[in-house]
Amino acid sequence: MPPDDPSATDVLTAAPGGTVEFPDNRLLIDLCGPYDANLAQVEKALGVQIVRRGNQLAVVGSHDASTDAMRVLHALYARLESGRAVEAGDVDRELRMGPFEEVAAPEDGHQLEMPIGNRIEIQTRKKRVEPRTDAQKAYVQSLFENELAFGIGPAGTGKTYLAVAVGVSMFLSGQVDKIILSRPAVEAGERLGFLPGDMKDKVDPYMQPLYDALGDFLPGKQLSRLIEEKQIEIAPLAFMRGRTLSNAFVVLDEAQNATTMQMKMFLTRLGEGSRMVITGDRTQIDLPRGTASGLADAERLLKAIPKISFNYFTSKDVVRHPLVAAIIEAYEADPTPKA
C-alpha cells in the first residue's frame, strides 16, 4: 500500500500493537527496498499487510505472523544500522531463520564470526556469506569443527558454494596453505565427444561451477595469481591418485558421480592439517547403469565414525529461484520409477 493512501491512517489506528517506528528515514527507505519490494517479500511470506506512513510501519495480520514480521523488520533495520546493505537474499534469510544476537567482526576480517543464536558469517575478500537456513548454518559449523564433512542434498541448497566460501575464509586467515577443488569429469546424461585444446581446455568445462564460486569470493587478478601459483588447484577427481593433501582445504563436488573405488581413493588422500568436504546429490547420479555411487557407499560405511559429520538438505533449503524448490518437490513426489 503506498505511503499516502488515506486508509493507512485507519490501519495504523486499528492495529497499534503492530506498529514499529524507525528513527532514521534514510535507513527506512533502504529497509523498504525499491518500490517497497522488501516489504512485499515479507508480506507474501508471512501473509501480513505492511503499511508505511512517515517513519512508521504498521503490520496487520494474525498475532504470530505480525510478531514474526516485526522481528524480521527489526533485524533488517539493525543490519542497515551496522552499515550493511539489505537485499532480497537478506530478507529471505531473516524469514527462514529465527532470532539472533549480532556478532562483531574479527579484526583481521577473514575468520568465521562464531554464532550467538542463529547468526554465522563467513568473510571473504569480496563479500560476506551468511547461511540462509538452519541446515546451512549447521553445515557451516560442521565445516569448521570437523576434518571430514559431507553435505548431501538437492541442487541449489548451497552445499558447494558454502564449502568454497569456508575454504577461502580459512585460506585467507592462514589456517590452510592451499585450496583444492575437485569433481568427477562425468557428463550429465549426454556424450560431448572429443574436446579440442590442451588438458586444461578439456577439463575446464566440468570444473566451471567451481571457478564460478571462487569468482564470487576473490578478485579476478588475485584468483588468477593463486591458481597460477598452485595455491588454488581445480582438477578432475582422477588427478588426485597418489597424492597426499596436507595443510589444504579440499572439496569434492558432485561426489554422487564418483565410483566406490574413486571415493575410497579420494578420502584416503587426507593429510595432516587438512579439511575435506564431500558434496553430492543422490538424485543426480550420472554413472553408467549398474555402477554403484561412491557417495552412497561412503555414507553407509562411514556414518558411525566419530569426527565425520553428515549434513543433509531438502527442498526447503533451496536458495535459488523459488521455482527450483517446487521442481525438486515435484520430482520427489513422482511415483514413476526412474530410468
- Structure confidence at residue 338 (pLDDT): 58
pLDDT tens digits, one per residue of 316-337: 888 876 677 778 778 777 777 5
pTM for the model stands at 0.76
Dihedral in degrees, nearest 10, Cα atoms 30, 33, 36, 42: -100
CATH code for the domain defined by 112-333:
3.40.50.300
In 25-173, DSSP assigns E strands to 49-53, 56-60, 112-113, 121-123, 128-129, 148-152
pLDDT tens digits, one per residue of 109-160: 444 444 334 568 888 888 888 888 889 999 999 999 999 999 999 988 999 9
As annotated, the residues of the chain forming the CATH 3.40.50.300 domain(s) are: 112-333
- 243 contact partners, CB below 8 Å, separation of at least 6: 269
As annotated, the residues of the chain forming the CATH 3.30.1370.10 domain(s) are: 7-96
Q: 311 falls in which pLDDT band (50, 70, 90)?
A: very high
Residue linked to cell 523488520: 73
- Topology given in CATH for the domain delimited by 7-96: Ribosomal Protein S8; Chain: A, domain 1 (3.30.1370)
Q: 177 falls in which pLDDT band (50, 70, 90)?
A: very high
